[in-house]
């Protein structure tokens, strides 16, 4: 049986999920796309039905599973509606606008009695992060002492608000660092460079997370790095280290130089991750569970909670201690 997928949002991410479900993921097919702009919905949907009403799409009888890829602040309500309709939902990050809203989602899932939510922290499926993770888990290098993350975008979109450096970009490092280190964090500090104006993003940010297991995580978030999209990680351990290789598969030797190209943005850089994530999500729906590597509603909550504390650290200039609640189910 093939699962009928409905997608909410036909912007960059919605269109990419639509392309993946239409042509690159087995066991599912695209049945509907909803967007406030019908022309954009039509382009992403190809032959599938279009709608301008996300709730109508969620409740459509042919929609068996939902992907939420609408603007960040709308995620929570659509995820709740999908849970109430009893439908598995893959939600682009962040899971909801606030950590409080994420807790409402966790409660709704509990009431439904099934794990229905996969939060789209797709780096967990990226082959490079997976190899790094496997090397760390093999144990030869010993415990991680410090994880250095670098998150550079070529340019911030003009609709980015100052907080989005954290709530839309840094949340990836929160999720992937928790996944790689298998620990929670106890404190966060931020040093910023750039603007003092609240309406203009300070850029870059240097964020330090202190882990409960003693490790440190340093992250540079630089939204206007200018030269390309560049995500990198290096773990320094007790007996050695492991770091990502070049962003490109090949480099060109020409006229005295060795040049490797950077991708323009996350879509080409994480093309494999998005495809493997969507396939894992569909496979898990067929098996009636959540994929073992998926970022769950709890993980989505943790990313949003730590993001809020990171913003507090940034705005107050203080080291903020985290009160991480224990997962209860």
User: CB of residue 273 vs ligand ISE: minimum separation in angstroms?
Assistant: 9
Give the C-alpha separation, 158 to 138, whole Å: 43
Retrieve residue 79's tokens: 């995820």
User: CB of residue 29 vs ligand ISE: minimum separation in angstroms?
Assistant: 25
Residue 277 has, within 13 A of its CA and on its CB side, a CA count of: 25
Nearest residue (CB) to ligand ISE, 124 versus 172: 172
**DSSP letter at 25?**
-
Cβ atoms of residues 2 and 29 within 8 Å = yes
Length of the chain: 329
Give the C-alpha separation, 65 to 307, whole Å: 28
User: CB of residue 198 vs ligand ISE: minimum separation in angstroms?
Assistant: 20
How many residues at the interface with ligand ISE, by CB under 6 A?
A: 5
User: CB of residue 231 vs ligand ISE: minimum separation in angstroms?
Assistant: 6
Chosen residue from 150, 153, 295, 304 binding ligand ISE by CB under 6 A: 153
User: CB of residue 69 vs ligand ISE: minimum separation in angstroms?
Assistant: 10
Binding mask 243-272 for ligand ISE (x = CB under 6 A): -----------------------x------
Question: Three-state SS for 281?
Answer: helix
Give the C-alpha separation, 233 to 50, whole Å: 40
Cβ atoms of residues 188 and 306 within 8 Å = yes
Binding mask 163-202 for ligand ISE (x = CB under 6 A): -----xx--x------------------------------
User: CB of residue 256 vs ligand ISE: minimum separation in angstroms?
Assistant: 32
Nearest residue (CB) to ligand ISE, 227 versus 254: 227
Nearest residue (CB) to ligand ISE, 270 versus 298: 270
**DSSP letter at 262?**
P
Cβ atoms of residues 297 and 106 within 8 Å = yes
Residue 303 has, within 13 A of its CA and on its CB side, a CA count of: 29
Nearest residue (CB) to ligand ISE, 18 versus 50: 18
- Residues at the interface with ligand ISE (CB under 6 A): 153, 168-169, 172, 266
């Amino acid at each position: 049986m093939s699962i009928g997928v409905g997608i909410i949002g036909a912007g960059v991410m919605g269109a990419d999920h639509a392309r993946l479900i239409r042509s690159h993921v087995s066991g599912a097919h695209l049945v509907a796309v909803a967007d406030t702009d019908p022309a954009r919905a039509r382009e992403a949907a190809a032959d599938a039905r279009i709608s301008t009403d996300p709730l109508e799409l969620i409740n459509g009888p042919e929609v068996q599973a939902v992907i939420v890829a609408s603007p960040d602040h709308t995620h929570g309500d659509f995820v709740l509606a999908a849970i109430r309709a009893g439908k598995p939902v893959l939600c682009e990050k962040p899971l909801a606008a606030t950590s409080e809203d994420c807790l409402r989602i966790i409660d709704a899932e509990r009431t439904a009695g099934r794990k229905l939510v996969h939060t789209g922290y797709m780096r967990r499926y990226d082959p490079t992060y997976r190899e790094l993770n496997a090397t760390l888990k093999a144990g030869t290098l010993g415990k991680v002492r410090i994880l250095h993350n670098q998150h550079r975008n070529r340019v911030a979109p003009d609709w980015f608000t100052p907080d989005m450096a954290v709530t839309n970009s840094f949340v990836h490092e929160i999720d992937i660092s928790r996944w790689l280190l298998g620990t929670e964090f106890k404190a966060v500090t931020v040093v910023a460079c750039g603007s003092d104006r609240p309406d203009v993003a300070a850029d870059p940010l240097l964020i330090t997370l202190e882990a409960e297991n003693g490790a440190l995580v340093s992250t540079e978030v630089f939204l206007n790095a200018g030269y390309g999209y560049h995500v990198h990680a290096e773990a320094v351990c007790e007996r050695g280290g492991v770091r990502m290789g070049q962003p490109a598969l090949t480099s060109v030797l020409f006229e005295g130089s060795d040049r490797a190209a950077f991708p323009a943005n996350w879509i080409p850089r994480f093309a494999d991750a998005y495809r493997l994530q969507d396939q894992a999500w569909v496979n898990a729906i067929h098996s009636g569970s959540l994929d073992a590597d998926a970022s769950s509603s709890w993980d989505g909550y943790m990313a949003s909670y730590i993001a809020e504390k990171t913003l507090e650290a940034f705005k107050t200039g203080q080291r903020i201690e985290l009160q991480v609640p224990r997962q209860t189910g």
